[in-house]
Amino acid sequence: MPAIVLIGAQWGDEGKGKATDLLGGEFGWVVRYQGGNNAGHTVVTPDGRDFALKLIPSGILSPGVKNVIGNGVVVNPEALIEEKAGLERRGVDTSGLLISADSHLIMPYHVAIDRVTERYLGKAKIGTTGRGIGPAYQDKVARVGVRAADLLDEKILHQKVEAALELKNQILVKVYNRRALDFHEVVDTVLEQSKEFAEKIVDTRLMLNEALERGETLLLEGSQGTLLDVDHGTYPFVTSSNPTAGGASVGSGIGPNKITRVIGILKAYTTRVGSGPFPTELLDEMGEWLRKTGGEVGVNTGRARRCGWFDAVIGRYAVRVNGITDVFLTKLDVLSGLESVPICVGYEVDGHRVDEMPMTQTGFHHAVPVYEEMPGWFEDLSGARTWDDLPATAQAYVQRIEELTGAPVSAIGVGPGREQTITR
């Protein structure tokens, strides 16, 4: 099994960190292929230690694994150094970390523009993480980005930053009435920072392909989630990259035919951070209960997550657009104690019943969930280790999700610990 993709099948925060960590040990390589330090992966190691990873692949916690920040990722040098140092302070060996020479850098002007743009948008804001992700990807596509390899060539770096900053400063000063950034300060700072990781900047595309040729296995770790994909998500309330499985090939430089399995991570209910439509969102005390019971607070930003029932329409959609072969269902334990558990099986859009994602943004904004009630369970699931340990009603809930989404559930999470997983 040469390359496996692990992808969030909702709006992110499905518990991918745990899945990567569980699988990471089986792989020689764990690769991040998009996003940046907007991600937040919580991993609890076997010795009970809690890690919140942002930019560095979750495989860093599995000794001996090589961890690649792929070409599709946007890298904030300051955030990288901080995260790397934080891991080292806790005794994690980061020597297996590699950074693609083609990954783009998040510069201070990207962060500044992200924040002022959001403020400027007012009510129409995306609710970004404010980490400069969108502006860095904008520059990549506009062909004025700065790449990791540029850090190794001071002359080129000067030229690129100078060209980019000229326009950025005009925007910051003339459009947003902000202070201009000093070119020398920007370049000197990033060069100083790069000393901490320059030797890790390599041709990861070549290395990954050579690893595949040697028969080694790769785990391609998606960040955010399917519905936050810039092409397939709830545009414009999305991130600026392609978390979906197709992005794994582009963002790492391996052929799509090398990917033989796509694991979709689905949470047993739904959450979303930031703005945008969310049909099954619960704005009442039930939503508050899910947030509290599920500990639904952003790892990275500390923002409270919006919570709602499981939405099988988006689940089915995610299975299709990613080619999901099997599902890791997380946080099933959170739903214990409910008389019945609603599952959204379709929508009513402007008086019409629809079973698939509405084609237009307005259609999705108008989607009212159609629920099916599943009998609930009161048992604490956190100690369940096998399928047979689950109450029959919890089993039926999982089976209904399989039927509705069209993908088999191969693993079930019943708590944050590595051992709190049922494999089928």
Q: Give the torsion through C-alpha atoms of 333, 338, 343, 349, to 10 deg.
A: -130
Q: Taking Cα atoms as reference points, which of 262, 241, 138 lies closest to residue 233? A: 241
Binding mask 6-45 for ligand IMP (x = CB under 6 A): ------xx------------------------xxx-----
| Of the candidates 363, 7, 15, the residue with the CA atom closest to the CA atom of residue 220 | 7
Nearer to ligand IMP, 76 or 336 (CB): 76
Q: Is 243 in the site for ligand IMP (CB under 6 A)?
A: no
Q: Is 128 in the site for ligand IMP (CB under 6 A)?
A: yes
Query: Is the peptide bond prior to 358 cis by the omega test (within 30 degrees of 0)?
Result: no
Cβ distance 417 to 44 under 8 Å? yes
β-pair partners for 329 = 266, 412
Tokens of 256: 């799509």
316 near ligand IMP (CB under 6 A):
no
Look at residues 90, 87, 50, 49 and name the one whose alpha carbon lies nearest to residue 67: 87
Residue 39 is assigned to a ligand binding site: yes
94 token code pair: 């980061």
Distance of CA 158 to the CA centre of its chain: 32
**Chosen residue from 100, 239, 249, 336 binding ligand IMP by CB under 6 A:** 239
Per-residue interface string for the shown chain with ligand IMP, residues 208-237, x marking contact by CB under 6 A: ---------------xx---x--------x
Cβ proximity to ligand IMP, 114 vs 397, nearer residue: 114
Element (H, E) at 218: strand 218-221
Write down the least CB distance from residue 8 to ligand IMP, Å: 8
14 is in an annotated binding site: yes
Buried b (16+ CB within 10 A) or exposed e, 263-276: bbbbbbbbbbbbbb
Alpha helices in 257-357 (DSSP H): 285-293, 312-322
User: Looking at 129-137, 191-199, 370-378, 396-404, which segment touches ligand IMP (CB under 6 A)?
Assistant: 129-137
Please report which residue ranges of 218-311 form alpha helices under DSSP H. Answer: 245-250, 285-293
| Tokens 């508050």 sit on residue | 288
Tell me phi and psi for residue 45, to 5 degrees.
Answer: -80, 165
Site for ligand IMP in 271-290 (CB under 6 A): 273-274
73 DSSP 8-state letter: B
Provide the minimum distance between the beta carbon of 302 and ligand IMP in the complex, in angstroms, as a whole number.
Answer: 12
What's the alpha-carbon Rg for the chain, to the nearest Å?
Answer: 21
Question: Is 84 among the catalytic positions?
Answer: no
Residue 314 makes contact with ligand IMP by CB under 6 A: no
Q: How far is the CB of 399 from ligand IMP (least distance, A)?
A: 28
Catalytically annotated residue among 104, 140, 160, 200: 140
The residue of the chain with the least Cβ separation from ligand IMP equals 274
Nearer CB in complex with ligand IMP: 32/131:
131
The active-site residue out of 21, 41, 54, 168 is: 41
Which stretch in 122-130, 147-155, 378-386, 391-399 sits in contact with ligand IMP by CB under 6 A? 122-130
Based on CB atoms, which residue is closest to ligand IMP, 135 or 246? 135
- Between residues 280 and 336, which has the closer beta carbon with respect to ligand IMP? 280
Contact present, 298 and 289 (Cβ < 8 Å): no
For ligand IMP, give the closer residue by CB, 138 or 410.
138
Contact 127, 134 (CB under 8 A): no
Token pair of 342, please?
A: 């609603």
Smallest separation, CB 126 to ligand IMP (Å): 5
If one asks whether residue 240 binds ligand IMP (CB under 6 A), the answer comes out as: yes
Task: Give the angle 243-247-251 at the CA atoms, nearest 5°.
Answer: 110
Binding residues (CB under 6 A) for ligand IMP: these are 12-13, 38-40, 126-129, 131, 133-134, 223-224, 228, 237, 239-240, 273-274
**Which residues are known binding-site members for IMP?**
13-16, 38-41, 129, 143, 224, 239, 303
**Which residues are known binding-site members for substrate?**
299-305
- Tell me which residues are annotated as active site: 13, 41, 140
